[in-house]
Chain A
Protein backbone atom coordinates (compact mmCIF):
# COMPACT_ATOMS: atom_id res chain seq x y z
CA UNK A 1 0.00 0.00 0.00
CA UNK A 2 2.71 2.39 1.07
CA UNK A 3 4.85 1.32 -1.84
CA UNK A 4 2.02 1.94 -4.30
CA UNK A 5 1.33 5.40 -2.87
CA UNK A 6 4.97 6.28 -3.01
CA UNK A 7 5.11 5.06 -6.59
CA UNK A 8 2.10 7.15 -7.58
CA UNK A 9 3.52 10.21 -5.88
CA UNK A 10 6.86 9.67 -7.51
CA UNK A 11 5.26 9.26 -10.90
CA UNK A 12 3.16 12.41 -10.52
CA UNK A 13 6.15 14.45 -9.42
CA UNK A 14 8.14 13.13 -12.35
CA UNK A 15 5.34 14.01 -14.74
CA UNK A 16 5.13 17.58 -13.41
CA UNK A 17 8.86 18.06 -13.57
CA UNK A 18 8.95 16.53 -17.04
CA UNK A 19 6.18 18.81 -18.21
CA UNK A 20 7.93 21.90 -16.82
CA UNK A 21 11.15 20.76 -18.40
CA UNK A 22 9.50 20.25 -21.77
CA UNK A 23 7.95 23.72 -21.52
CA UNK A 24 11.48 24.99 -20.80
CA UNK A 25 12.87 23.28 -23.86
CA UNK A 26 10.02 24.68 -25.91
CA UNK A 27 10.76 28.17 -24.65
CA UNK A 28 14.41 27.67 -25.51
CA UNK A 29 13.42 26.63 -29.05
CA UNK A 30 11.25 29.74 -29.40
CA UNK A 31 14.10 32.00 -28.34
CA UNK A 32 16.43 30.22 -30.74
CA UNK A 33 13.88 30.63 -33.50
CA UNK A 34 14.23 34.39 -33.33
CA UNK A 35 17.36 33.95 -35.45
CA UNK A 36 15.28 32.62 -38.34
CA UNK A 37 14.39 36.10 -39.58
CA UNK A 38 13.54 34.83 -43.01
CA UNK A 39 10.83 32.63 -41.61
CA UNK A 40 8.75 34.32 -38.92
CA UNK A 41 8.20 38.04 -39.80
CA UNK A 42 5.71 37.55 -42.60
CA UNK A 43 3.84 34.83 -40.77
CA UNK A 44 3.76 37.08 -37.72
CA UNK A 45 1.83 39.71 -39.64
CA UNK A 46 -0.66 37.10 -40.75
CA UNK A 47 -1.06 35.85 -37.21
CA UNK A 48 -1.54 39.42 -35.99
CA UNK A 49 -4.42 39.72 -38.37
CA UNK A 50 -5.85 36.40 -37.28
CA UNK A 51 -5.38 37.01 -33.57
CA UNK A 52 -5.92 40.77 -33.50
CA UNK A 53 -7.94 42.15 -36.38
CA UNK A 54 -10.33 39.22 -36.56
CA UNK A 55 -10.92 39.37 -32.81
CA UNK A 56 -11.68 43.06 -32.58
CA UNK A 57 -15.42 42.71 -32.99
CA UNK A 58 -15.73 39.91 -30.46
CA UNK A 59 -13.54 41.70 -27.92
CA UNK A 60 -15.42 44.97 -28.30
CA UNK A 61 -18.83 43.33 -28.02
CA UNK A 62 -17.83 41.40 -24.91
CA UNK A 63 -16.26 44.51 -23.39
CA UNK A 64 -19.29 46.65 -24.20
CA UNK A 65 -21.61 44.31 -22.37
CA UNK A 66 -19.11 44.02 -19.58
CA UNK A 67 -18.83 47.79 -19.15
CA UNK A 68 -22.56 48.36 -19.33
CA UNK A 69 -23.39 45.69 -16.79
CA UNK A 70 -20.59 46.75 -14.46
CA UNK A 71 -21.73 50.38 -14.46
CA UNK A 72 -25.39 49.45 -14.10
CA UNK A 73 -24.74 47.11 -11.21
CA UNK A 74 -22.43 49.59 -9.57
CA UNK A 75 -25.03 52.33 -9.70
CA UNK A 76 -27.73 50.23 -8.12
CA UNK A 77 -25.48 48.73 -5.47
CA UNK A 78 -24.58 52.16 -4.14
CA UNK A 79 -26.52 53.03 -1.05
CA UNK A 80 -27.73 56.55 -0.26
CA UNK A 81 -25.07 59.02 0.75
CA UNK A 82 -22.41 57.84 -1.68
CA UNK A 83 -21.59 60.40 -4.31
CA UNK A 84 -22.79 59.32 -7.73
CA UNK A 85 -19.38 59.95 -9.26
CA UNK A 86 -18.21 56.82 -7.43
CA UNK A 87 -19.86 54.87 -10.25
CA UNK A 88 -17.34 56.26 -12.71
CA UNK A 89 -14.45 55.56 -10.39
CA UNK A 90 -15.48 51.99 -9.60
CA UNK A 91 -16.31 51.21 -13.21
CA UNK A 92 -12.99 52.56 -14.44
CA UNK A 93 -10.96 50.72 -11.85
CA UNK A 94 -12.85 47.47 -12.38
CA UNK A 95 -12.51 47.56 -16.14
CA UNK A 96 -9.05 49.00 -16.62
CA UNK A 97 -7.32 47.20 -13.80
CA UNK A 98 -9.05 43.85 -13.89
CA UNK A 99 -11.96 42.96 -16.10
CA UNK A 100 -10.75 44.47 -19.37
CA UNK A 101 -7.52 42.51 -19.72
CA UNK A 102 -8.81 39.41 -17.94
CA UNK A 103 -11.99 38.87 -19.91
CA UNK A 104 -10.33 39.79 -23.18
CA UNK A 105 -7.69 37.17 -22.51
CA UNK A 106 -10.24 34.53 -21.52
CA UNK A 107 -12.33 35.23 -24.60
CA UNK A 108 -9.28 35.03 -26.81
CA UNK A 109 -8.26 31.80 -25.14
CA UNK A 110 -11.39 30.26 -26.54
CA UNK A 111 -11.29 31.93 -29.89
CA UNK A 112 -7.57 32.17 -30.65
CA UNK A 113 -5.91 29.70 -28.28
CA UNK A 114 -8.16 26.77 -29.15
CA UNK A 115 -7.74 27.52 -32.81
CA UNK A 116 -3.98 27.71 -32.38
CA UNK A 117 -3.82 24.34 -30.65
CA UNK A 118 -6.09 22.74 -33.20
CA UNK A 119 -4.09 24.08 -36.14
CA UNK A 120 -0.70 23.09 -34.82
CA UNK A 121 -2.03 19.81 -33.44
CA UNK A 122 -3.53 18.91 -36.78
CA UNK A 123 -0.24 19.72 -38.46
CA UNK A 124 1.46 17.50 -35.93
CA UNK A 125 -0.82 14.52 -36.38
CA UNK A 126 -0.79 14.88 -40.18
CA UNK A 127 3.02 15.02 -40.08
CA UNK A 128 3.18 18.44 -41.70
CA UNK A 129 5.55 19.55 -38.97
CA UNK A 130 7.79 16.61 -39.78
CA UNK A 131 7.68 17.68 -43.40
CA UNK A 132 8.77 21.20 -42.46
CA UNK A 133 11.72 19.77 -40.60
CA UNK A 134 12.53 17.64 -43.59
CA UNK A 135 12.58 20.78 -45.74
CA UNK A 136 14.99 22.39 -43.25
CA UNK A 137 12.37 24.77 -41.92
CA UNK A 138 12.37 25.40 -38.22
CA UNK A 139 8.74 24.57 -37.30
CA UNK A 140 8.96 26.62 -34.14
CA UNK A 141 10.11 29.66 -36.10
CA UNK A 142 7.35 29.12 -38.63
CA UNK A 143 4.47 28.06 -36.40
CA UNK A 144 5.08 29.12 -32.81
CA UNK A 145 7.18 32.27 -32.78
CA UNK A 146 4.82 34.26 -35.07
CA UNK A 147 1.87 33.30 -32.92
CA UNK A 148 3.65 34.20 -29.71
CA UNK A 149 4.80 37.56 -31.07
CA UNK A 150 1.41 38.30 -32.57
CA UNK A 151 -0.37 37.48 -29.33
CA UNK A 152 2.07 39.54 -27.27
CA UNK A 153 1.46 42.55 -29.52
CA UNK A 154 -2.23 42.15 -30.24
CA UNK A 155 -3.53 41.27 -26.79
CA UNK A 156 -2.60 44.72 -25.40
CA UNK A 157 -4.11 46.34 -28.47
CA UNK A 158 -7.34 44.42 -28.09
CA UNK A 159 -7.36 45.11 -24.37
CA UNK A 160 -7.00 48.83 -24.99
CA UNK A 161 -9.91 48.78 -27.40
CA UNK A 162 -11.89 46.66 -24.98
CA UNK A 163 -11.25 49.11 -22.15
CA UNK A 164 -12.40 52.03 -24.25
CA UNK A 165 -15.43 50.15 -25.51
CA UNK A 166 -16.36 49.13 -21.97
CA UNK A 167 -16.07 52.67 -20.63
CA UNK A 168 -18.07 54.12 -23.51
CA UNK A 169 -20.70 51.44 -23.03
CA UNK A 170 -20.74 52.17 -19.29
CA UNK A 171 -21.26 55.87 -19.96
CA UNK A 172 -24.09 55.25 -22.42
CA UNK A 173 -25.75 52.76 -20.09
CA UNK A 174 -25.60 55.16 -17.15
CA UNK A 175 -26.82 58.04 -19.26
CA UNK A 176 -29.76 56.14 -20.74
CA UNK A 177 -30.80 53.88 -17.88
CA UNK A 178 -29.85 55.61 -14.65
CA UNK A 179 -29.76 59.02 -12.99
CA UNK A 180 -26.00 59.39 -13.40
CA UNK A 181 -25.13 62.39 -15.52
CA UNK A 182 -22.18 62.68 -17.86
CA UNK A 183 -20.43 65.17 -15.59
CA UNK A 184 -20.70 62.79 -12.64
CA UNK A 185 -19.37 59.88 -14.65
CA UNK A 186 -16.48 61.88 -16.06
CA UNK A 187 -15.67 63.24 -12.61
CA UNK A 188 -15.52 59.69 -11.29
CA UNK A 189 -13.39 58.57 -14.22
CA UNK A 190 -10.81 61.21 -13.34
CA UNK A 191 -10.66 60.63 -9.60
CA UNK A 192 -7.36 59.06 -8.61
CA UNK A 193 -6.46 58.33 -12.21
CA UNK A 194 -2.82 57.73 -13.00
CA UNK A 195 -1.47 56.86 -16.47
CA UNK A 196 0.29 53.89 -14.93
CA UNK A 197 -3.11 52.25 -14.52
CA UNK A 198 -3.33 52.00 -18.30
CA UNK A 199 0.19 50.57 -18.50
CA UNK A 200 -0.76 48.14 -15.75
CA UNK A 201 -3.64 46.95 -17.88
CA UNK A 202 -1.36 46.58 -20.91
CA UNK A 203 1.27 44.73 -18.89
CA UNK A 204 -1.36 42.25 -17.81
CA UNK A 205 -2.54 41.85 -21.40
CA UNK A 206 1.01 41.25 -22.59
CA UNK A 207 1.48 38.51 -20.01
CA UNK A 208 -1.84 36.95 -20.91
CA UNK A 209 -1.01 37.06 -24.63
CA UNK A 210 2.30 35.34 -24.01
CA UNK A 211 0.57 32.69 -21.87
CA UNK A 212 -2.15 31.99 -24.43
CA UNK A 213 0.20 31.62 -27.37
CA UNK A 214 2.88 29.75 -25.49
CA UNK A 215 0.63 27.17 -23.82
CA UNK A 216 -1.75 26.67 -26.73
CA UNK A 217 0.95 26.33 -29.35
CA UNK A 218 2.86 23.91 -27.14
CA UNK A 219 -0.21 21.76 -26.53
CA UNK A 220 -0.74 21.61 -30.29
CA UNK A 221 2.91 20.90 -30.85
CA UNK A 222 2.80 17.83 -28.62
CA UNK A 223 -0.65 16.62 -29.70
CA UNK A 224 -1.05 12.88 -29.93
CA UNK A 225 -2.02 11.21 -33.17
CA UNK A 226 -5.64 11.20 -34.28
CA UNK A 227 -8.61 13.51 -34.07
CA UNK A 228 -9.12 12.57 -30.46
CA UNK A 229 -5.56 13.60 -29.67
CA UNK A 230 -6.14 17.01 -31.21
CA UNK A 231 -9.39 17.44 -29.33
CA UNK A 232 -7.74 16.38 -26.10
CA UNK A 233 -4.87 18.79 -26.72
CA UNK A 234 -7.29 21.64 -27.41
CA UNK A 235 -9.26 21.03 -24.24
CA UNK A 236 -6.08 20.74 -22.20
CA UNK A 237 -4.73 23.93 -23.75
CA UNK A 238 -7.85 25.93 -22.89
CA UNK A 239 -7.89 24.66 -19.32
CA UNK A 240 -4.20 25.22 -18.68
CA UNK A 241 -4.29 28.63 -20.35
CA UNK A 242 -7.27 29.74 -18.31
CA UNK A 243 -5.61 28.70 -15.09
CA UNK A 244 -2.35 30.30 -16.21
CA UNK A 245 -4.14 33.57 -17.00
CA UNK A 246 -5.77 33.71 -13.57
CA UNK A 247 -2.48 32.83 -11.89
CA UNK A 248 -0.62 35.50 -13.85
CA UNK A 249 -3.39 37.96 -13.00
CA UNK A 250 -2.83 37.35 -9.31
CA UNK A 251 0.95 37.54 -9.65
CA UNK A 252 0.88 40.79 -11.62
CA UNK A 253 -1.61 42.28 -9.19
CA UNK A 254 0.54 41.31 -6.24
CA UNK A 255 3.67 42.74 -7.82
CA UNK A 256 2.31 45.91 -9.41
CA UNK A 257 -0.75 46.83 -7.35
CA UNK A 258 1.24 49.09 -4.98
CA UNK A 259 2.25 51.22 -7.98
CA UNK A 260 -1.28 51.56 -9.32
CA UNK A 261 -2.44 53.99 -6.62
CA UNK A 262 -2.58 57.53 -7.95
Chain B
Protein backbone atom coordinates (compact mmCIF):
# COMPACT_ATOMS: atom_id res chain seq x y z
CA UNK B 1 0.00 0.00 0.00
CA UNK B 2 2.75 2.39 0.92
CA UNK B 3 4.64 1.57 -2.27
CA UNK B 4 1.47 2.21 -4.24
CA UNK B 5 1.15 5.66 -2.68
CA UNK B 6 4.64 6.59 -3.72
CA UNK B 7 4.10 5.38 -7.26
CA UNK B 8 0.87 7.29 -7.63
CA UNK B 9 2.29 10.46 -6.15
CA UNK B 10 5.44 10.18 -8.24
CA UNK B 11 3.42 9.55 -11.36
CA UNK B 12 1.21 12.55 -10.69
CA UNK B 13 4.15 14.82 -10.06
CA UNK B 14 6.01 13.64 -13.16
CA UNK B 15 2.96 14.05 -15.34
CA UNK B 16 2.35 17.46 -13.87
CA UNK B 17 5.90 18.63 -14.45
CA UNK B 18 5.92 17.26 -18.00
CA UNK B 19 2.58 18.85 -18.82
CA UNK B 20 3.63 22.15 -17.29
CA UNK B 21 6.99 22.29 -19.03
CA UNK B 22 5.60 21.14 -22.37
CA UNK B 23 2.72 23.58 -22.20
CA UNK B 24 4.98 26.47 -21.27
CA UNK B 25 7.46 25.68 -24.03
CA UNK B 26 4.67 25.26 -26.55
CA UNK B 27 3.15 28.60 -25.66
CA UNK B 28 6.44 30.46 -25.45
CA UNK B 29 8.29 28.91 -28.38
CA UNK B 30 5.60 27.21 -30.39
CA UNK B 31 6.99 23.79 -29.52
CA UNK B 32 10.42 22.24 -29.58
CA UNK B 33 10.69 22.54 -33.38
CA UNK B 34 9.33 26.01 -33.61
CA UNK B 35 10.54 27.02 -37.04
CA UNK B 36 13.47 29.17 -37.98
CA UNK B 37 14.30 32.69 -36.82
CA UNK B 38 14.09 35.80 -38.98
CA UNK B 39 14.68 39.35 -37.86
CA UNK B 40 13.11 42.71 -38.45
CA UNK B 41 13.85 46.19 -37.18
CA UNK B 42 11.20 48.69 -36.16
CA UNK B 43 11.27 52.03 -34.38
CA UNK B 44 10.52 52.27 -30.68
CA UNK B 45 6.87 52.41 -29.76
CA UNK B 46 5.72 49.89 -32.36
CA UNK B 47 3.60 48.10 -29.74
CA UNK B 48 5.09 44.67 -30.32
CA UNK B 49 4.90 41.77 -27.85
CA UNK B 50 5.87 38.16 -27.80
CA UNK B 51 3.36 35.87 -29.47
CA UNK B 52 1.88 38.38 -31.89
CA UNK B 53 1.19 36.81 -35.28
CA UNK B 54 3.37 37.13 -38.36
CA UNK B 55 1.49 37.16 -41.65
CA UNK B 56 2.97 36.65 -45.11
CA UNK B 57 0.55 38.08 -47.66
CA UNK B 58 -2.21 37.55 -45.12
CA UNK B 59 -1.28 33.97 -44.24
CA UNK B 60 -0.21 33.23 -40.67
CA UNK B 61 3.31 31.83 -40.91
CA UNK B 62 4.61 32.31 -37.37
CA UNK B 63 4.75 34.63 -34.40
CA UNK B 64 6.92 37.16 -32.64
CA UNK B 65 9.35 35.26 -30.47
CA UNK B 66 11.35 38.07 -28.92
CA UNK B 67 11.47 41.85 -28.87
CA UNK B 68 14.80 43.43 -27.97
CA UNK B 69 15.16 47.10 -27.15
CA UNK B 70 18.22 48.52 -28.92
CA UNK B 71 19.51 51.82 -27.49
CA UNK B 72 19.74 53.44 -30.94
CA UNK B 73 15.96 53.76 -31.06
CA UNK B 74 15.11 50.50 -32.79
CA UNK B 75 13.41 47.30 -31.77
CA UNK B 76 15.12 44.12 -32.92
CA UNK B 77 12.30 41.65 -33.36
CA UNK B 78 12.90 37.92 -33.66
CA UNK B 79 10.26 36.20 -35.76
CA UNK B 80 9.63 32.47 -35.47
CA UNK B 81 8.67 31.37 -38.98
CA UNK B 82 7.19 27.92 -39.51
CA UNK B 83 9.47 25.56 -41.44
CA UNK B 84 7.01 25.02 -44.28
CA UNK B 85 7.09 28.69 -45.28
CA UNK B 86 9.87 30.57 -47.05
CA UNK B 87 10.10 34.32 -47.35
CA UNK B 88 10.81 35.69 -50.88
CA UNK B 89 13.64 38.13 -51.46
CA UNK B 90 12.57 41.75 -51.36
CA UNK B 91 9.83 41.13 -48.82
CA UNK B 92 9.14 44.05 -46.49
CA UNK B 93 7.89 43.87 -42.91
CA UNK B 94 5.48 46.35 -41.37
CA UNK B 95 3.64 46.64 -38.08
CA UNK B 96 -0.08 46.78 -38.64
CA UNK B 97 -3.04 46.97 -36.28
CA UNK B 98 -4.75 43.70 -35.38
CA UNK B 99 -8.33 44.61 -34.56
CA UNK B 100 -9.38 47.95 -33.14
CA UNK B 101 -8.02 47.68 -29.61
CA UNK B 102 -4.38 48.43 -30.18
CA UNK B 103 -3.06 44.92 -30.73
CA UNK B 104 -0.46 44.61 -33.48
CA UNK B 105 0.78 42.07 -35.95
CA UNK B 106 3.70 41.94 -38.33
CA UNK B 107 2.66 41.90 -41.96
CA UNK B 108 5.19 40.66 -44.50
CA UNK B 109 4.56 41.94 -48.03
CA UNK B 110 6.33 39.81 -50.67
CA UNK B 111 7.31 40.98 -54.14
CA UNK B 112 5.51 39.25 -56.95
CA UNK B 113 7.24 36.80 -59.28
CA UNK B 114 10.32 36.44 -57.11
CA UNK B 115 11.81 32.95 -57.15
CA UNK B 116 14.65 33.45 -54.70
CA UNK B 117 14.14 33.26 -50.97
CA UNK B 118 15.71 34.74 -47.88
CA UNK B 119 17.74 32.46 -45.67
CA UNK B 120 17.40 31.71 -41.97
CA UNK B 121 18.56 34.56 -39.78
CA UNK B 122 18.20 37.27 -42.42
CA UNK B 123 16.84 40.66 -41.50
CA UNK B 124 13.69 41.57 -43.38
CA UNK B 125 13.57 45.07 -44.77
CA UNK B 126 11.23 47.40 -42.96
CA UNK B 127 8.27 48.63 -44.98
CA UNK B 128 5.57 51.17 -44.41
CA UNK B 129 2.59 49.98 -42.40
CA UNK B 130 -0.96 51.17 -42.40
CA UNK B 131 -1.87 53.87 -39.88
CA UNK B 132 -2.66 52.47 -36.49
CA UNK B 133 -5.64 53.06 -34.30
CA UNK B 134 -3.75 55.73 -32.41
CA UNK B 135 -3.03 57.71 -35.56
CA UNK B 136 -6.61 57.36 -36.72
CA UNK B 137 -7.88 58.50 -33.34
CA UNK B 138 -5.46 61.42 -33.38
CA UNK B 139 -6.74 62.46 -36.78
CA UNK B 140 -10.33 62.02 -35.60
CA UNK B 141 -9.52 64.16 -32.54
CA UNK B 142 -8.10 66.83 -34.83
CA UNK B 143 -11.19 66.76 -37.01
CA UNK B 144 -13.41 66.85 -33.95
CA UNK B 145 -11.49 69.86 -32.65
CA UNK B 146 -11.92 71.63 -35.98
CA UNK B 147 -15.62 70.83 -36.05
CA UNK B 148 -15.92 72.07 -32.49
CA UNK B 149 -14.16 75.32 -33.41
CA UNK B 150 -16.44 75.77 -36.41
CA UNK B 151 -19.47 75.05 -34.27
CA UNK B 152 -18.27 77.59 -31.70
CA UNK B 153 -17.78 80.19 -34.42
CA UNK B 154 -21.18 79.44 -35.90
CA UNK B 155 -22.73 79.66 -32.45
CA UNK B 156 -20.97 82.95 -31.80
CA UNK B 157 -21.99 84.37 -35.15
CA UNK B 158 -25.54 83.12 -35.38
CA UNK B 159 -26.62 82.77 -31.76
CA UNK B 160 -24.59 85.05 -29.54
CA UNK B 161 -24.27 87.94 -31.98
CA UNK B 162 -27.86 87.66 -33.20
CA UNK B 163 -27.04 86.32 -36.67
CA UNK B 164 -30.06 84.08 -36.72
CA UNK B 165 -32.35 86.97 -35.77
CA UNK B 166 -30.87 89.04 -38.56
CA UNK B 167 -31.24 86.15 -40.94
CA UNK B 168 -34.88 85.80 -39.98
CA UNK B 169 -35.41 89.53 -40.42
CA UNK B 170 -33.69 89.42 -43.81
CA UNK B 171 -35.84 86.50 -44.83
CA UNK B 172 -38.98 88.34 -43.80
CA UNK B 173 -37.89 91.43 -45.72
CA UNK B 174 -37.04 89.30 -48.71
CA UNK B 175 -40.45 87.70 -48.52
CA UNK B 176 -42.10 91.12 -48.41
CA UNK B 177 -39.96 92.29 -51.35
CA UNK B 178 -40.90 89.25 -53.36
CA UNK B 179 -44.55 89.87 -52.57
CA UNK B 180 -44.18 93.49 -53.62
CA UNK B 181 -42.43 92.50 -56.82
CA UNK B 182 -45.19 90.05 -57.48
CA UNK B 183 -47.78 92.79 -57.08
CA UNK B 184 -45.82 95.10 -59.39
CA UNK B 185 -45.41 92.39 -61.94
CA UNK B 186 -49.12 91.70 -61.86
CA UNK B 187 -49.85 95.41 -62.29
CA UNK B 188 -47.37 95.70 -65.13
CA UNK B 189 -48.78 92.65 -66.75
CA UNK B 190 -52.24 94.10 -66.51
CA UNK B 191 -51.13 97.45 -67.99
CA UNK B 192 -49.15 95.73 -70.70
CA UNK B 193 -52.18 93.77 -71.66
CA UNK B 194 -54.16 96.98 -71.79
CA UNK B 195 -51.52 98.73 -73.92
CA UNK B 196 -51.34 95.80 -76.23
CA UNK B 197 -55.05 95.89 -76.65
CA UNK B 198 -54.99 99.65 -77.39
CA UNK B 199 -52.16 99.20 -79.87
CA UNK B 200 -54.14 96.56 -81.62
CA UNK B 201 -57.11 98.89 -81.77
CA UNK B 202 -54.94 101.76 -83.09
CA UNK B 203 -53.36 99.59 -85.70
CA UNK B 204 -56.74 98.40 -86.73
CA UNK B 205 -57.92 102.05 -87.08
CA UNK B 206 -55.02 103.21 -89.28
CA UNK B 207 -56.07 103.70 -92.97
CA UNK B 208 -53.56 102.18 -95.29
CA UNK B 209 -54.26 104.79 -98.08
CA UNK B 210 -53.43 107.64 -95.76
CA UNK B 211 -50.31 105.87 -94.69
CA UNK B 212 -49.30 105.42 -98.30
CA UNK B 213 -49.88 109.10 -99.06
CA UNK B 214 -47.90 110.08 -96.01
CA UNK B 215 -45.05 107.86 -97.06
CA UNK B 216 -45.06 109.44 -100.53
CA UNK B 217 -44.92 112.90 -98.98
CA UNK B 218 -42.03 111.70 -96.85
CA UNK B 219 -40.24 110.51 -99.94
CA UNK B 220 -40.82 113.84 -101.77
CA UNK B 221 -39.59 115.73 -98.76
CA UNK B 222 -36.53 113.54 -98.61
CA UNK B 223 -35.80 114.23 -102.28
CA UNK B 224 -36.14 117.99 -101.70
CA UNK B 225 -33.85 117.81 -98.74
CA UNK B 226 -31.34 115.91 -100.83
CA UNK B 227 -31.50 118.61 -103.54
CA UNK B 228 -31.12 121.33 -100.96
CA UNK B 229 -28.15 119.55 -99.54
CA UNK B 230 -26.56 119.31 -102.95
CA UNK B 231 -27.09 123.04 -103.55
CA UNK B 232 -25.62 123.85 -100.21
CA UNK B 233 -22.59 121.78 -101.06
CA UNK B 234 -22.10 123.66 -104.30
CA UNK B 235 -22.46 126.99 -102.52
CA UNK B 236 -19.97 125.88 -99.93
CA UNK B 237 -17.53 124.92 -102.69
CA UNK B 238 -17.86 128.33 -104.30
CA UNK B 239 -17.42 130.12 -100.99
CA UNK B 240 -14.39 127.97 -100.32
CA UNK B 241 -12.95 128.90 -103.70
CA UNK B 242 -13.49 132.58 -103.02
CA UNK B 243 -12.00 132.30 -99.57
CA UNK B 244 -9.04 130.45 -101.05
CA UNK B 245 -8.48 133.21 -103.53
CA UNK B 246 -8.76 135.83 -100.82
CA UNK B 247 -6.41 133.91 -98.63
CA UNK B 248 -3.89 133.27 -101.37
CA UNK B 249 -3.52 137.00 -101.99
CA UNK B 250 -4.61 137.21 -105.64
CA UNK B 251 -7.27 139.64 -106.75
CA UNK B 252 -8.47 142.97 -105.44
CA UNK B 253 -10.26 141.73 -102.41
CA UNK B 254 -7.23 139.67 -101.38
CA UNK B 255 -5.05 142.70 -101.74
CA UNK B 256 -7.42 144.77 -99.72
CA UNK B 257 -7.36 142.21 -97.03
CA UNK B 258 -3.74 141.16 -97.12
CA UNK B 259 -1.66 144.19 -98.30
CA UNK B 260 -0.69 146.43 -95.31
CA UNK B 261 0.40 149.17 -97.65
CA UNK B 262 -3.10 149.61 -98.90
CA UNK B 263 -4.28 149.66 -95.34
CA UNK B 264 -1.82 152.44 -94.55
CA UNK B 265 -2.93 154.38 -97.56
CA UNK B 266 -6.52 153.94 -96.74
CA UNK B 267 -5.80 154.99 -93.20
CA UNK B 268 -3.94 158.06 -94.40
CA UNK B 269 -6.78 158.72 -96.82
CA UNK B 270 -9.26 158.54 -94.02
CA UNK B 271 -7.19 160.96 -91.98
CA UNK B 272 -7.13 163.33 -94.85
CA UNK B 273 -10.83 162.89 -95.32
CA UNK B 274 -11.34 163.64 -91.65
CA UNK B 275 -9.18 166.68 -91.95
CA UNK B 276 -11.03 167.69 -95.06
CA UNK B 277 -14.36 167.18 -93.43
CA UNK B 278 -13.27 169.21 -90.45
CA UNK B 279 -12.06 171.93 -92.76
CA UNK B 280 -15.28 171.79 -94.72
CA UNK B 281 -17.18 172.21 -91.53
CA UNK B 282 -14.99 174.98 -90.48
CA UNK B 283 -14.83 176.79 -93.81
CA UNK B 284 -17.74 175.71 -95.84
CA UNK B 285 -17.52 178.74 -98.11
CA UNK B 286 -14.15 177.64 -99.22
CA UNK B 287 -15.59 174.61 -100.79
CA UNK B 288 -19.15 175.44 -101.33
CA UNK B 289 -19.73 178.52 -103.25
CA UNK B 290 -23.19 178.52 -104.47
CA UNK B 291 -24.21 181.21 -106.59
CA UNK B 292 -27.60 181.32 -107.95
CA UNK B 293 -27.03 184.21 -109.85
Contacts and interface: CB of A to CB of B under 8 A. Distances in A.
A187 B60 contact: yes
A153 B2 CA distance: 18
A156 B20 CA distance: 10
B69 interface: no
Given A49-B8, A164-B19, A195-B24, A190 B99 contact: no
Contacts of B19: 160-161, 164
Given A82-B100, A157-B12, A193 B28 contact: yes
Contacts of B20: 160, 164, 198, 202
Given A160-B16, A164-B23, A191 B2 contact: no
Nearest to A168: B23
A45 B53 contact: no
B22 to A, nearest CB: 9
Nearest to B6: A45
B98 interface: yes
B12 A52 contact: yes
A192 B49 contact: yes
A86 B99 contact: yes
B12 A192 contact: no
B50 interface: yes
Contacts of A45: 2, 5-6, 9
A49 B5 contact: yes
B27 A56 contact: no
Given A45-B6, A193-B51, A56 B12 contact: yes
- For chain A, which range describes its interface: under 10, 10 to 19, 20 to 34, or 35 or more residues? 35 or more
Given A81-B100, A193-B27, A193-B28, A161 B50 contact: no
A189 B63 CA distance: 11
A183 B63 CA distance: 12
Nearest to B80: A190
B52 interface: yes
Contacts, number: 88
Contact of A192 (B5, B51, B100): B51
B30 interface: yes
A163 B5 CA distance: 24
B101 interface: yes
A191 B28 contact: no
A161 B19 CA distance: 7
Contacts of B141: none
Interface string A83-127: 101100000100000000000000000000000000000000000
A262 interface: yes
Nearest to B100: A81
B50 A192 contact: yes
A155 to B, nearest CB: 11
A190 B103 contact: no
Interface centre among B20, B52, B100 (most CB of A within 10 A): B20
Interface centre among B12, B28, B50 (most CB of A within 10 A): B12
B28 A187 contact: no
Contacts of B53: 85, 187
B13 interface: yes
A82 B101 contact: yes
Contact of A46 (B2, B23, B27, B49): B2
A50 to B, nearest CB: 9
A49 B9 contact: yes
A100 to B, nearest CB: 12
A81 B50 contact: no
B16 A161 contact: yes
B60 A46 contact: no
A53 interface: yes
Contact of B99 (A48, A81, A164): A81
A32 interface: no
Contacts of A82: 99-101
A194 interface: yes
Given A85-B53, A163-B23, 10 more contacts: A42-B2, A81-B100, A82-B101, A154-B12, A157-B12, A157-B13, A164-B19, A189-B27, A191-B51, A191-B52
22 contacts: A45-B5, A45-B6, A45-B9, A46-B5, A53-B8, A53-B9, A83-B103, A85-B98, A157-B12, A161-B16, A164-B19, A164-B20, A164-B23, A183-B60, A190-B50, A191-B49, A191-B103, A192-B49, A192-B51, A198-B24, A202-B20, A262-B50
Interface of B: 2, 5-6, 8-9, 12-13, 15-16, 19-20, 23-24, 27-28, 30, 49-53, 60, 63, 98-101, 103
Which 3 pairs of residues, A with B, have the shortest CB-CB distance?
Answer: A190-B51, A83-B99, A157-B16
